[in-house]
């Protein structure tokens, strides 16, 4: 059984200008010990997916579909059950640790808080566990007495990781966990996350716009564009031989140093990602697509088979599959 199974998730925000579809039918599974990377640009709906999984969306949002966490539908849970599942079933490492920590509370108190609230152990044991967790993420336990401003950016991000582990969840959602960090510190944090994930057999949903980071840490990738997944599959092949033209453009934004193809020839897409309130008809990517043809403006592609365990939402992929080889 998958740790997380998202089925036909749709999220619509109600605004004064009318309903805005942010997520338009997203499905994926994450197994125990698997890392799924969800990539896409700002506004593609990836953060909305994260918030929908733990029902953290604002009141004006309507959600449909299913979010099965260890087989139980989060979207159908009563408030009490939902509170119990948050942090023990799935926890989040939020973006920008510098803003996610409470500046006037000691690190130790913040770490122990979740354990105490979930009544997993008494205050004293919670503190001991907090110390153990700090060691696990590579910080000395004496740091429990520190305030957030006494830590560097990388250290704060380590505390955020420890915090996500406090209640031993089966799923960790990492939302842009290294975006605000320096390259060298980013490498340290990624390698720590990878170690912990392997050691504890965690399922992980990793979200970022940086495809090169995802390729490094994820088993599988899902690429989102305009509220939908447009390509999914094992991370290496998806990055190296993209089936969808959007994935190809995204991958080209992270050039391999030493690869003569990228030298002095930056490649990008014309136009901009669509606003969620003005998604083009047909394939939502067609106005920016370098290989679009007439049909793309009218037909909204499904995810078609694109090789072993791979799928892509592109009519060219469908055509290639139909031609008997």
Partner 1 sequence: MSEPARAEPAAPSDEDPVLEVQDLHVTFAGRVGLGAGVAGKKAAVSRAVDGVDLTLGRGEVLALAGESGCGKTTLARTIMGLETPKQGQILFMGEPLGTSTKVLREYRRRVQIVFQDPTAALNPRQTIYESVAEGLRIHGVTSQDGMSEEKLVARALARSGLRPPETFFLRYPHELSGGQRQRVVIAGALVLEPEIIVADEPVSSLDASVRGEILKLLLGLRDDFGIAMLVVTHDLGLAWTIADRVAVMYLGRIVEIGPAEDVLTRPLHPYTKALLEVVPEAGGLNRPYLSGEPPDPTRIPEGCRFHPRCPEVSSGAAASAGVEPKCLGEDLGLVELQPGHFAACHLAAARQGEAVSTTSD
Task: Give contact residues for partner 1 (rule: CB under 8 A).
Answer: 41-42, 152, 154, 182-188, 190-191, 194, 209-213, 215-217, 235-236, 239-240, 246, 249-250, 252-258, 262-270, 272-273, 288
Residue 109: what are its φ and ψ, rounded to 5°? -65, -40
CB-based burial, 299-317: b 16+ in 10 Å, e otherwise: eebebbebbeebbbbbbbb
* Rounded CA separation 193/156 (Å): 14
Q: How far is the CB of 287 from partner 1 (least distance, A)?
A: 13
Instruction: Give 35 or 101: the residue with its C-beta nearer to partner 1.
Output: 35
Instruction: Give 58 or 266: the residue with its C-beta nearer to partner 1.
Output: 266
Q: How far is the CB of 299 from partner 1 (least distance, A)?
A: 22
Instruction: Give 118 or 209: the residue with its C-beta nearer to partner 1.
Output: 209
Instruction: Give 88 or 194: the residue with its C-beta nearer to partner 1.
Output: 194
Instruction: Give 120 or 254: the residue with its C-beta nearer to partner 1.
Output: 254
Q: How far is the CB of 42 from partner 1 (least distance, A)?
A: 6
* Rounded CA separation 190/119 (Å): 31
Contacts (Cβ under 8 Å, ≥6 apart) of 199:
none
Instruction: Name the strand (E) or helix (H) holding 19.
Output: strand 18-30
Q: How many residues does the chain have?
A: 325
Q: How far is the CB of 40 from partner 1 (least distance, A)?
A: 9
Q: Which of 93, 69, 100 is nearest to 164 (CA)?
A: 93
Interhelix angle 123-136/153-165, rounded to 10 degrees, is: 130
Q: How far is the CB of 197 from partner 1 (least distance, A)?
A: 11
């Amino acid at each position: 059984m998958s740790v997380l199974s998202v089925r036909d998730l749709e999220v619509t925000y109600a605004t004064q200008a009318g309903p805005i579809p942010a997520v338009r039918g997203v499905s994926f599974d994450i197994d125990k010990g698997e890392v799924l990377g969800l990539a896409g640009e700002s506004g593609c709906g990836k953060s909305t997916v994260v918030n929908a999984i733990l029902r953290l969306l604002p009141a004006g949002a309507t959600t449909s579909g299913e979010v099965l966490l260890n087989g139980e539908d989060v979207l159908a849970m009563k408030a009490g059950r939902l509170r119990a599942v948050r942090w023990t079933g799935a926890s989040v490492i939020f973006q920008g640790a510098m803003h996610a920590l409470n500046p006037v509370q000691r690190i130790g108190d913040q770490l122990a808080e979740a354990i105490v609230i979930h009544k997993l152990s008494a205050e004293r044991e919670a503190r001991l566990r907090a110390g153990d967790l700090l060691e696990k993420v590579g910080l000395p336990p004496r740091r429990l007495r520190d305030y957030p401003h006494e830590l560097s950016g990388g250290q704060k991000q380590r505390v955020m990781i420890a915090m996500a582990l406090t209640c031993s969840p089966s799923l960790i959602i990492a939302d842009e966990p290294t975006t605000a960090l320096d390259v060298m510190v980013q490498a340290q944090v990624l390698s720590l996350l990878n170690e912990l994930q392997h050691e504890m057999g965690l399922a992980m949903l990793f979200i970022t716009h940086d495809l090169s980071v995802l390729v490094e840490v994820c088993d599988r990738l899902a690429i989102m564009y305009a509220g939908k997944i447009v390509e999914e599959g094992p991370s290496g092949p998806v990055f190296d031989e993209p089936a969808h033209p959007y994935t190809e453009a995204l991958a080209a934004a992270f050039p391999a140093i030493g690869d003569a193809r990228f030298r002095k020839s930056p490649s990008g897409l014309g136009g901009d990602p669509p606003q969620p309130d003005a998604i083009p008809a047909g394939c939502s990517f067609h106005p920016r697509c370098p290989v679009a043809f007439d049909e793309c403006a009218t037909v909204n592609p499904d995810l078609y088979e694109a090789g072993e365990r791979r799928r892509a939402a592109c009519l060219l992929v469908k055509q290639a599959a139909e031609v008997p080889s």
